[in-house]
Structure 1
Amino acid sequence: MLAVAEVPERPPGPLLMRLNSSRGLNVVFDHDHTSLQQGPEDDFEEDIGFENFQRAVKDAISLANYDISAYDTAWVARIPKVFAGENLVPHFPEALQWVERNQKDDGSWGELQPINKFDEYFSTLSCLIALKTWNVGHESVAKGEQYLQEKLVTLGDKELKYVSHGAKVAFAAMLEDAEKLGLSLSSPSSSSPLPCVENLRSYRTKVLERLKTFADVIADCPKKLLSFPEGLEPVLDWEGIGDLQFEDGSIFSSPAATACFIMRTKDSKAMNYLTSLIGRFNDAVPCMYPTPLSEILSIVDHLERLNIDRYFSAEIRELLDILHRQSELHGYDHDDLPSEDIETQAMIFRALREYQYDVTPETFLLEGISSGQIGELGARGMLQLYRASELIFPGELLLDYTRNVTTVSLRNILNTTTDPALKKEVEDALHSPHFMQFRPFESMKYIDRFDSSVEANETYFEMTFSRLMHKLNPLMVAFAKVNFNKCQAIYQEELQALTKWDDDHLRNAYNFQRQPLLPAFLAGAVGMPDPKLALARSVWTRGSVLVTVIDDLFDEATLHDGIQGLRLFHESIKRWDPSIVDSCCGPVKTLARLLMSEVDCLCKEASEAQGRDLTPFLRSIWQDVIAEFLTEAEWNDSGYQPSSEEYLRTGSISFGLGPITLYTIFCYGEHISDEMLDNNDYLDAFDLVNRYGRLINDLRTHSREVLGMHNSFISVYEREHPKLSKQEAYAGVQNLLKGLASKVFSQLLNSRYTSQAVRDVHLAMIRSLYLMYYEVDGYRFTSHELKKQIQRFFYKRFSCE
């Protein structure tokens, strides 16, 4: 059971934690506190609006959507055409004409529905500079000046908190350009400079001064800044930027950055890139073209890690459908990094496999590995390839090889890097599989990293030149905070109801060896975080508590009527007749009656959710578990030593996952037919998950089980392999567990699985088992890191200021 060493301060919500090292972690409630603490989450809706945010993200992960950018088009319009001995004229007059034609009625430029007001100011200033550069559109310039004069007066930290560092620097650079051109942005009624203008200029000055100290600005500059090179003109080596030029001639797929590069270098390849865009998009350009698949998939990965991907599930599925169809045709109909780019291919493979598409690693990785690309990858590419290799199915030698190579490479990076963000990312990757992590826990970790990041540092996600990613980052993190806080409030209410249930029905009925409520609900909440899955979380938690309590009863048979009392308990459950235990001691009698009563309540909820009576089937699941509890108790009572297969056959059922997973599946919100549960794929997966649970539990509880004279798979394995040392036997069981995990993935991530509920609940169980037993028995002893996660998850809100 979770044991926490120190008592925390009283949290600000309705929950109080009472900690007792001898009895584990309990939860009680301050019943005088009647309302949940409220936060400033509504500010996000007021400042940005969920619909605007959702639209921006959907556009970003679309393969076909390229909205025109007034900001970038204005930059293209500024490029001069050079004639020897003659005056300069625009190289792209059509772009300049587009700017003149597309001013809005209020004097601004930009999208009809900008994601925030800063984007509108950003585009407007860029367009004003383009018109003023060529001394055209005087009426438009006057209207635009008036618009910015009115708006910049109110521009402050509130509007800038959702703006990337690179965009702030680029805006400050444009303010200087505007001043040189004679544009008037200050209010005519005030002679003093605008505070926001001065603050942005000061910020850019500090950034430039710091960059001047770098031996190699291009190599050392954070990509969140370098992705906007037009803001860093005084300190950049523009010829050096050319070394980063993409194959299509662009600078980071950005028309604005490419235009700035052309004005400094007159690069013909870059000019050809912009010429093709002007023709393709009818005299204008988008903000980024093309959007590399790696960047689109990075955004999807970002949404998942921040636990907000459920808001974009249809768009993600549409994207992956396209990628899967194109992979089957052995090519990508997308102006993108070439299909043989192994980093991109690793990202595609991992995304498709996680979403149950039928894919093989050879289709995506064999060519890149055979051609030696793996040796040319940087840290980010190695991480992507390593994460792809984690989703290995039995017999996939290519992924096994990939895992070994990338592990060695990442360990070398860990020993040599001085980048704290990269070091932390690699440490996390090598410590535990990414696919085994719970997204709500990951979201806490990554929000913290973004919050602590300044323009001098970067998170893993920011190690890219994609200005689209950097533009969306602050918005996604801000929304992730809103999502986390709102979900936390929901979980607190659910935990309050479950604690009352525990107090009313169980806490006084039996002197528990363990206090399972909090770890059970924790696993349900992080494994099924969607707010709409409240019933599933409740059923999961109550089933887990009941399994733990009855398991403890059978483990302590000598204290409660001995083996005969347990036989009567089993007979009572087998016949579903509480009178059979009337002659037993208090705990046996009380818990038998309590179990039947609570199971019938759960059966009723599951039956109502499915629209048919499931009581006989769901009772039989408990009857099977109790029967195997009794078998193990009789083994221990008689000293019988089972074979490994016999032990696993019994132990995988007695581990008690059936009453948790099956009941939860029925309450998940999906219709589950009898045919689904009779399907061989389902039965195999259910058996594999149970065996995985038994093995990972035994690896962490072996010493205690031996002291208690109980069987353990470790002791059985040692007995069957007498030539092995204890360490070798332990390693052998670990390898068995690793193989089981691979088999579980091959079942649950198989495209034949049509039930999302079956897949999700079993994956939640696998992850919860890993969480609780990876390092120690989390039901009795808790790692320091997990203690912090628990405290944070249930009791600490994110500041949305």
Structure 2
Amino acid sequence: MANPTQGRSSSILPVSGRQAPQQAVLLWAAPQFVSKCGLHVLHHGRRKPPRRSFTCSASRLPSTEPPYVEEMLARENIRTRNTERKARIQKHLEKPEFSPSAYDTAWVAMVPLPDTDRQAPCFPQCVEWILQNQHCSGSWGINQFGLLANKDILLSTLACIIALKKWNVGSDHISRGLEFIGRNISTVMDKQIVSPIGFNLIFPGMFNHAIRMGLEFPVRETDISGILHLCEMELRRLAGEESNGKEAYLAFVAEEGLVSLLDRNEVMNFQRKNGSLFNSPAATAAVLVHRYDDKALQYLNSIVSIFGTTVPTVYPQNIYYQLSMVDMLEKIGISRHFSSEINSILDKAYIEMRK
């Protein structure tokens, strides 16, 4: 008589417990479609007849979704991402986020406390922010262009160094900042690198002021001459320029550049109702560094009370930020999706310009 197990695969599974050698279950091979799923025999108890339960692992099964279903799910994911992206853009348009400016914070940190013979900072929290936010490279500022050093970072670093030197704090921070500027001094005169507004007047003026304060930059004399020459070239250019915005430009950069381009009354003609110059914390603070002005001080007090230890580049800046966002959306061709928000921003800008 033929062996009934012949030609079939089998396995001996021991029953749980100490009597396993005496009790064994001969498991006949299951049909092929079951064995692919994974067949498990579970025994419950020692004296009762074994109960068998079969479980199938779904993860081993091939996908049964038709191709059009997968394509539909992919399109749905794209729609979800686009909706989330649109919501983020709308949020930025309606309520701009403010980024701290190391440069403007440094100027605010330089403002002396009134009635103290200019011997103490009016905003010590800004001085502390400078001490706590130096990068390991020795610099201050936000690297927006992916470069190790750019002109904005160099200008921010120089301003922070001067602020710390003014109040005789952070000698180690000052040393690291001076070394950073020394390593990257060629960037100052590199015409291929984007310059902030007024850089060729402001940086040389502040650089010269820092030298007069006793700060020693690890640079060559030719570098110093080259930096000061930038200011001379810019002044020559401005002398031959006739434009309606020239006086406003000079007022904007004169105080920060520590150069006498306009007298005090001409500069203060550009003071706004909120006490600021051009809604710029740095330009407003530069006025207070040289002379006291009650409205200007109120403006800075209001900003610091809002932001705490640092200030943004422009405040209030909603309209500036929003208009730049509108310009960006126009350039990339998706402004039609935000027509309601854009119309609201343009209406607000028109009202601001009429004031």
- Do Structure 1 and Structure 2 share a fold, with TM-score over 0.5? yes
Matched, 1:309 2:331: yes
Do 2:275 and 2:299's aligned partners in 1 also have CA atoms closer than 8 Å?
Answer: yes
- Corresponding residue for 1:290? 316
Matched, 1:227 2:252: yes
User: Which of 198, 201, 204 is equivalent to 1:166?
Assistant: 198
User: Which of 208, 218, 223 is equivalent to 1:176?
Assistant: 208
- Corresponding residue for 1:322? 341
Do 2:248 and 2:270's aligned partners in 1 also have CA atoms closer than 8 Å?
Answer: no
SS at the partner of 1:90?
Answer: coil
Matched, 1:274 2:300: yes
Unpaired stretches in structure 1, ≥5 consecutive residues: 1-57, 345-372, 374-801
Cα-to-partner distance string for 1:615-639 (whole Å, 9 max, x where unaligned): xxxxxxxxxxxxxxxxxxxxxxxxx
Do 2:275 and 2:295's aligned partners in 1 also have CA atoms closer than 8 Å?
Answer: yes
CA pair 179-96 structure 1, distance change in 2 beyond 3 A? same
Do 1:172 and 1:231's aligned partners in 2 also have CA atoms closer than 8 Å?
Answer: yes
Root-mean-square deviation over aligned CA pairs:
3.6
Q: How does 1:624-639 map to 2 (within 5 A)?
A: none
Q: How does 1:740-779 map to 2 (within 5 A)?
A: none
Return the alpha-carbon distance in structure 2 between the equivalents of residues 159 and 170 of structure 1: 18
- Corresponding residue for 1:205? 232
SS at the partner of 1:290?
Answer: coil
So what's the TM-score if we normalise by structure 1?
0.30
Cα-to-partner distance string for 1:604-623 (whole Å, 9 max, x where unaligned): xxxxxxxxxxxxxxxxxxxx
Q: How does 1:694-705 map to 2 (within 5 A)?
A: none
Matched, 1:133 2:173: no
- Corresponding residue for 2:9? none
CA pair 127-164 structure 1, distance change in 2 beyond 3 A? closer
Partner amino acid, structure 1, of 2:125:
E
Matched, 1:74 2:106: yes
CA shift for structure 1 position 127: 0.4
Do 2:110 and 2:121's aligned partners in 1 also have CA atoms closer than 8 Å?
Answer: yes
Partner amino acid, structure 2, of 1:171:
F
CA pair 120-194 structure 1, distance change in 2 beyond 3 A? farther
Return the alpha-carbon distance in structure 2 between the equivalents of residues 144 and 164 of structure 1: 20
CA shift for structure 1 position 183: 1.6
Do 2:188 and 2:227's aligned partners in 1 also have CA atoms closer than 8 Å?
Answer: no
Q: How does 1:522-671 map to 2 (within 5 A)?
A: none
Return the alpha-carbon distance in structure 1 between the equivalents of residues 190 and 91 of structure 2: 27
SS at the partner of 1:128?
Answer: helix
**Alignment: residue pair count:** 263
CA pair 297-87 structure 1, distance change in 2 beyond 3 A? closer
- State, as a whole percentage, how many aligned pairs show the same letter: 30
Return the alpha-carbon distance in structure 2 between the equivalents of residues 153 and 325 of structure 1: 45
CA shift for structure 1 position 64: 0.9
User: Which of 63, 78, 88 is equivalent to 2:119?
Assistant: 88
CA pair 179-59 structure 1, distance change in 2 beyond 3 A? farther
CA pair 72-219 structure 1, distance change in 2 beyond 3 A? same
CA pair 249-136 structure 1, distance change in 2 beyond 3 A? same
Return the alpha-carbon distance in structure 2 between the equivalents of residues 209 and 60 of structure 1: 41
CA shift for structure 1 position 106: 1.3
| Greater mean alpha carbon deviation, residues 221-230 or residues 233-242 | 221-230
CA shift for structure 1 position 225: 5.0
Return the alpha-carbon distance in structure 2 between the equivalents of residues 100 and 176 of structure 1: 23
User: Which of 179, 183, 197 is equivalent to 1:146?
Assistant: 179
SS at the partner of 2:200?
Answer: helix
Return the alpha-carbon distance in structure 1 between the equivalents of residues 180 and 191 of structure 2: 19
Return the alpha-carbon distance in structure 1 between the equivalents of residues 306 and 176 of structure 2: 30
- Corresponding residue for 1:562? none
Do 2:127 and 2:164's aligned partners in 1 also have CA atoms closer than 8 Å?
Answer: yes
- Corresponding residue for 1:98? 129
Return the alpha-carbon distance in structure 2 between the equivalents of residues 249 and 140 of structure 1: 32
Cα-to-partner distance string for 1:381-437 (whole Å, 9 max, x where unaligned): xxxxxxxxxxxxxxxxxxxxxxxxxxxxxxxxxxxxxxxxxxxxxxxxxxxxxxxxx
- Corresponding residue for 2:270? 244
Unpaired stretches in structure 2, ≥5 consecutive residues: 1-89
Return the alpha-carbon distance in structure 1 between the equivalents of residues 152 and 320 of structure 2: 25
CA shift for structure 1 position 71: 0.4
- Corresponding residue for 1:193? 221
CA pair 321-172 structure 1, distance change in 2 beyond 3 A? farther
Do 2:204 and 2:231's aligned partners in 1 also have CA atoms closer than 8 Å?
Answer: yes
CA shift for structure 1 position 321: 3.6
Matched, 1:124 2:157: yes
Return the alpha-carbon distance in structure 1 between the equivalents of residues 258 and 174 of structure 2: 26
Do 1:208 and 1:232's aligned partners in 2 also have CA atoms closer than 8 Å?
Answer: no
Partner amino acid, structure 2, of 1:133:
K
CA shift for structure 1 position 212: 6.9
CA shift for structure 1 position 101: 0.8
SS at the partner of 2:184?
Answer: helix
Partner amino acid, structure 2, of 1:111:
I
CA shift for structure 1 position 80: 0.9
Cα-to-partner distance string for 1:657-685 (whole Å, 9 max, x where unaligned): xxxxxxxxxxxxxxxxxxxxxxxxxxxxx
Do 2:141 and 2:153's aligned partners in 1 also have CA atoms closer than 8 Å?
Answer: yes
- Corresponding residue for 2:139? 108
CA pair 238-299 structure 1, distance change in 2 beyond 3 A? farther
Return the alpha-carbon distance in structure 1 between the equivalents of residues 258 and 119 of structure 2: 25
Return the alpha-carbon distance in structure 2 between the equivalents of residues 227 and 113 of structure 1: 23
CA shift for structure 1 position 173: 1.3
- Corresponding residue for 1:365? none
Larger Rg, first or second structure (1 or 2): 2
Partner amino acid, structure 2, of 1:124:
T
Partner amino acid, structure 1, of 2:155:
F
CA pair 227-82 structure 1, distance change in 2 beyond 3 A? closer
